[in-house]
Structure 1
Amino acid sequence: MPDEDGYFGADVAAAYDESSADMFRPEAVHPAVDVLAELAGGGRALEFGVGTGRLALPLAARGVPVHGVDLSRAMLDRLRAKPGGDGVGVTVGDFATTRVDGVFALAYLVFNTINNLTTQDAQVDCFRNAARHLEPGGRFVIEVGVPALRLLPPGQSAVPFHISDTRWAFDTYDVVTQAMSSNYVTVVDGHATHRSIPFRYVWPAELDLMARLAGLRPCARWEGWSRAPFTAESTGHVSVWEKPAE
């Protein structure tokens, strides 16, 4: 069961950077920061689900004022303890509804974090919350995977995404409700522990409709931060919506 920090309590926060090490590599971070800094255009940036600051810290180091919202105090404590952490403003709260002061040129959600909102209503609220924070002409960016349902043969509901001698990880899907979960089995000294985190998967076209409901219009969709074209074979996407100028 989750604690007061949701599914990202002190034990998860302590190992988060190491367990997601590939996402902290420069080749993963720098292209994302390049795009976000360009979209911010010298204005303020708001990160929903800021976590331990994987992108917020290098973006702030580029001179972009960054404010982060996260439900997990443990993750935010990790962010604050890092070099430059005191330069990123933070607010504890649910990013679907939490308001912070001021307006922003950019709001963004990365690394599948939109899926942490486990109902369609909450995901719609997130778009509306982003739109409320954006200045006219501001952009909202989401990085998220395409649901891997094409990999499911009839009768199967799980797709593995990591297998090693000490760690197994797999996603499960409910194609009726769009509920999914990421499951992790870790073996230490011959003893296995299991952790499961619930999500709700969402389709690109569904995100576009959520954006429309929030008064945002499509601006760009790429396969990733390199801005390669999004195709039918893409396993993920970076999508950008714009708040129309008044």
Structure 2
Amino acid sequence: MEGFDPKTSFGPDVAASYDDALRGDEDETVEFLAGLAGFELALELAIGTGRIALPLSERGIRVDGIELSADMIARLREKPGGENLTVVVGDMATAEAPGPYGLVYLIYNTFHNLQTQDDQVRCFENAARHLTNDGVFVIECELASMRRGRSFVDAERVGTDEVTLDVNRYDAVSQVLDENHVRIGDGGIRMGPISQRLVHPSEMDLMARIAGLRLRHRWSGWREEPFTASSTRHVSVYGRG
């Protein structure tokens, strides 16, 4: 996407409104991750505003984070308990946190925010470096949907006071999806651009092998629903071979 900068894509406006529309799966996400963490330390890559890290830390688990956006970190710090979390400012593919950790996790499609295959491999390698010998790396992503045509628009919300459109352009060669969330309402027009490299689970599994990890489990949701041909997302757990 011309002019796109990942460092500014989650700026002050996005950070301020990021928690306005929660996904509704926060409780089951925390329950799943807490079960894996046990009494070990946890590291969230792209910790954001602490949507998951804060309730997970309330379970008695120490959660550290890595986050590229200073604005998202500032929003996290405003929340109760946010000042107690150790957060490293940096790229999740290269930044170093104290560690080691029994659980490293990267959720909500954020792995796709890394725009090249090399960076995505480096992310797996970075996660592996932060793991204890028996630690696990958890990734949650939506599955890349097959769409006819290079460009498409989805109507996310159509209301009397506001319309939200998802404008997309996909390059099948690079696997990069350029996306802009456009909100049109009484307050004017707001843009939320993001660029992602979409990855299928099979490619992730190969990246994991490069990093010395192997797939242990794959489900279609946080409640460990079976992963099938009709699944729309996956929760994948990797550990050392």
**What range is the shorter-chain TM-score in?**
over 0.9
1:163 maps to which of 157, 167, 173: 157
Query: Shift of residue 182 of structure 1?
Result: 2.4
Q: Work out which of the residue numbers 15, 18, 25 in structure 2 matches 1:16.
A: 18
Residue number in structure 2 paired with 1:133: 130
Q: Residues 208 and 164 (structure 1 numbering): CA distance in 2 closer, same or farther, change over 3 Å?
A: same
Does 1:193 pair with 2:190? yes
RMSD: 1.7
- Offset at residue 159 of structure 1 (A): 5.4
Deviation at 1:168, TM superposition (A): 1.4
Q: In the alignment, is the contact (CA less than 8 A) between 1:162 and 1:170 conserved in 2?
A: no
Moved over 3 A (4+): 1-5
Please say if 1:60 is aligned against 2:57. yes
**Which secondary structure state, in structure 2, belongs to the residue aligned with residue 138 of structure 1?**
strand
Q: Does residue 1:148 correspond to 2:140, yes or no?
A: no
**CA spacing shift, 1:4–1:158, aligned 2, 3 Å:** closer
Report the alpha carbon displacement of residue 5 of structure 1 after superposing the two structures with TM.
Answer: 3.7
Shift of residue 181, structure 1, vs aligned partner: 2.2
SS at match of 1:168: strand
Distance 1:180 1:2, change over 3 A: closer
> Secondary structure of 1:197's partner?
strand
| Alpha-carbon offset, residue 234 of structure 1 | 0.7
Partner residue, 2:211: 214
Compute the displacement of 1:87 (Å).
2.4
When structure 1 is superposed on structure 2, of 42-51 and 194-203 the one drifting more is 194-203
Match for residue 181 of structure 1 among 178, 183, 191? 178
Shift in Å, 1:3: 6.6
Shift of 1:190: 7.1
Evaluate the alpha carbon distance shift between residue 8 and residue 191 of structure 1 in structure 2; reply closer, same or farther with a 3 A threshold. Answer: same
Aligned with 2:216: secondary structure? strand
- Post-superposition shift, 1:13? 0.7
Q: Secondary structure at the match of 2:221?
A: coil
Distance in 2, Cα, partners of 1:109 & 1:208: 15
| Shift, 1:123, TM fit | 0.3
Gaps of 5+ in 1: none
1:70 alignment counterpart = 67
Letter aligned with residue 121 of structure 2: V
Structure 1 residues 111, 97: CA separation in 2 closer, same or farther (over 3 Å shift)?
A: same
Aligned-partner residue type, residue 144 of structure 2: P
Percent identical among aligned pairs is: 47
Partner SS state of residue 17, structure 1: coil
Q: TM-score if structure 1 supplies the norm length? A: 0.91
Contact 1:157-1:174 at 8 Å conserved across structures: no
2:47 alignment partner, one of 39, 46, 50? 50
Mind listing any 5+ residue stretches in structure 2 that lack a counterpart?
Answer: none
CA 1:182–1:43 in structure 2 vs 1: closer, same or farther (change >3 Å)? same
Mapping 1:95-106, distance limit 5 Å = 95-106=92-103
